């Protein structure tokens, strides 16, 4: 029995193969369930008891030897064609190009990061909304022009189901379900029934912020706006607030920043005024707080909102809004190093 084992070991030691298919044939011949090595166990049954330990150990050693030999042949053939001597493995694969984030995404995340440093959390809501959260809860009169088909996309001509015209609808939803203090920022896409041109589009992106708590004042709003403007456009940026009107805030204002191209001296971009409008803001109207279940005698708050496209235009001087949604790779490649 030992002679048969030694003879088989010598045979296995001399094995060679030209390819992986031949290696598989050898594996089946020697190591499969019906191979030559497992077949030795049939003869093992007739071995005298005093020799079983020696013969059994020899069979196990043979099986290990055969397995190592087959694996060695397989590994040598697998790596035979891997010659990387002339290849620079540190190079970027070609012709694959590195991509970039969309300029609107870059600016939106920058806006969010600034407000997060002030303690604001992100809140999101549905783009298909109802009249209550988009208009009624925000103090829009029944005959307000924004409810018209000229401004709003209604779903299936149903006046109560529509595409949101601003992300203020997220604010009304949060105020209905959350007790103050509330400090949120609401980024998202909005829709308005407008003719598409270089200066307008039927959809665009907004970021709005809401802060409701005890003793929130107009001074809190102004300092928040000043911090945002200087973080976004530079530490020398100045702001000014002009009286305006929004149904959901009172008093309301529009905020201008000193032109970041001419430093406030006046140029064609700022129409020689030295100022550029970037957002609307104001103190939350008490009617809005009450409609959302918040006691306006105890709590006050401020809200502000801006168009992401508008901020992106100011940072990168993109003159045509349509370029943001045309997916022209030549335009997008200009922002490869913008983040």
pLDDT at 267 over 70: yes
Residue found by looking up tokens 């995340």 in the block: 109
Q: For 318, which DSSP code?
A: -
Residue found by looking up tokens 């971009």 in the block: 269
The structural domains of the chain, with segments of one domain joined by +, span: 2-78, 103-335
Q: What are phi and psi of 45, to 5 degrees?
A: -65, -30
The whole-number pLDDT of residue 153 equals 84
3-state SS of 63-105?
HHHHHHHHHHHHHHHHCCCCCCCCCCCCCCCCCCCCCCCCHHH
Lowest mean pLDDT, pick from 86-100, 176-190, 216-230, 241-255: 86-100
Residue found by looking up tokens 């409810």 in the block: 147
The whole-number pLDDT of residue 316 equals 81
**What 3-state DSSP class applies to 197?**
coil
Count how many Cα atoms sit within 13 Å of the Cα of residue 93 in the half-sphere of its side chain: 1
Q: Which residue has the higher pLDDT, 240 or 159?
A: 240
Q: Which residue has the higher pLDDT, 66 or 209?
A: 209
Q: Is the dihedral of CA 11, 14, 20, 21 positive or negative?
A: negative
State the CATH architecture for 103-335: 2-Layer Sandwich (3.30)
Q: What is the pTM of this model?
A: 0.67
The whole-number pLDDT of residue 128 equals 92
Contacts (Cβ under 8 Å, ≥6 apart) of 92: 98
Q: Compute, in degrees rounded to 10, the torsion defined by CA atoms 18, 19, 23, 24.
A: -140
The strand pair at 182-191 and 121-122 is best described as parallel
Give the closest residue to 250 by CA, choosing from 283, 288, 287: 283
Q: What percent of the chain has pLDDT over 90?
A: 37
Q: Which residue has the higher pLDDT, 199 or 171?
A: 171
**What 3-state DSSP class applies to 247?**
coil
The whole-number pLDDT of residue 259 equals 83
The whole-number pLDDT of residue 305 equals 94
| Model pLDDT for residues 182-238, shown as the tens digit of each residue | 999 999 999 988 877 777 788 889 999 999 999 999 999 999 999 999 999 889 899
Contacts (Cβ under 8 Å, ≥6 apart) of 191: 127, 153, 163, 164, 165, 202, 203
Lowest mean pLDDT, pick from 165-169, 209-213, 248-252, 264-268: 264-268
Give strand ranges (E) for 152-287.
154-155, 158-163, 182-191, 203-213, 239-246, 249-258, 275-284
Cα separation of 78 and 73, whole Å? 9
The whole-number pLDDT of residue 231 equals 94
Q: Which residue has the higher pLDDT, 103 or 79?
A: 103
Cα separation of 233 and 314, whole Å? 9
Cα separation of 290 and 305, whole Å? 21
Residue pair 259/231 in contact by the 8 Å Cβ criterion: no
pLDDT at 84 over 70: no
What are the start-end ranges of the H helices in the chain? Answer: 2-13, 20-31, 36-44, 52-78, 103-117, 131-134, 168-177, 218-233, 286-291, 308-316, 329-332
| Model pLDDT for residues 275-317, shown as the tens digit of each residue | 989 999 999 999 999 999 999 999 999 999 999 988 888 888 7
């Amino acid at each position: 029995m030992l002679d048969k084992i030694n003879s088989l070991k010598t045979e296995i030691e001399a094995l060679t193969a030209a390819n992986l298919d031949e290696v598989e044939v050898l594996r089946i011949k020697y190591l499969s369930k019906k191979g030559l090595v497992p077949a030795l166990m049939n003869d093992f049954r007739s071995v005298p008891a005093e020799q079983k330990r020696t013969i059994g150990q020899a069979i196990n050693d043979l099986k290990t030897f055969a397995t190592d030999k087959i694996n060695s042949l397989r590994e040598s053939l697998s790596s035979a064609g891997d010659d990387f001597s002339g290849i620079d493995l540190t190079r970027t694969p070609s012709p694959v190009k590195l991509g970039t984030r969309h300029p609107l995404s870059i600016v939106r995340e920058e806006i969010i990061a600034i407000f997060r440093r002030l303690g604001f959390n992100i809140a999101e809501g549905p783009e298909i909304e109802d009249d209550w959260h988009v208009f009624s809860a925000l103090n829009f009169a029944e005959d307000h022009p924004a409810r018209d088909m000229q401004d709003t996309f209604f779903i299936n001509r149903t006046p109560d189901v529509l595409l949101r015209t601003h992300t203020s609808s997220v604010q009304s939803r949060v105020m209905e379900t959350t007790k103050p203090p509330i400090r949120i920022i609401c980024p998202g896409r909005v829709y308005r029934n407008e003719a598409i041109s270089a200066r307008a589009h039927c959809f665009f992106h907004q970021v709005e912020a809401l802060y409701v708590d005890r003793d929130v004042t107009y001074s809190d709003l102004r300092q928040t706006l000043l911090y945002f403007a200087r973080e976004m456009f530079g530490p020398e940026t100045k702001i000014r607030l002009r009286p305006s009107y929004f149904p959901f805030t009172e008093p309301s204002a529009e905020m201008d920043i000193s032109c970041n191209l001419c430093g406030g001296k006046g140029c064609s971009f700022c129409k020689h005024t030295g100022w550029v409008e970037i957002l609307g803001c104001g103190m939350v109207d008490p009617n809005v707080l009450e409609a959302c279940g918040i006691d306006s005698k105890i709590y006050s708050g401020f809200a502000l909102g801006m168009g992401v496209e508008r901020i992106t235009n100011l940072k990168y001087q993109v003159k045509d809004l349509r370029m943001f949604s045309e997916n022209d790779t030549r335009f997008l490649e200009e922002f490869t190093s913008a983040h």
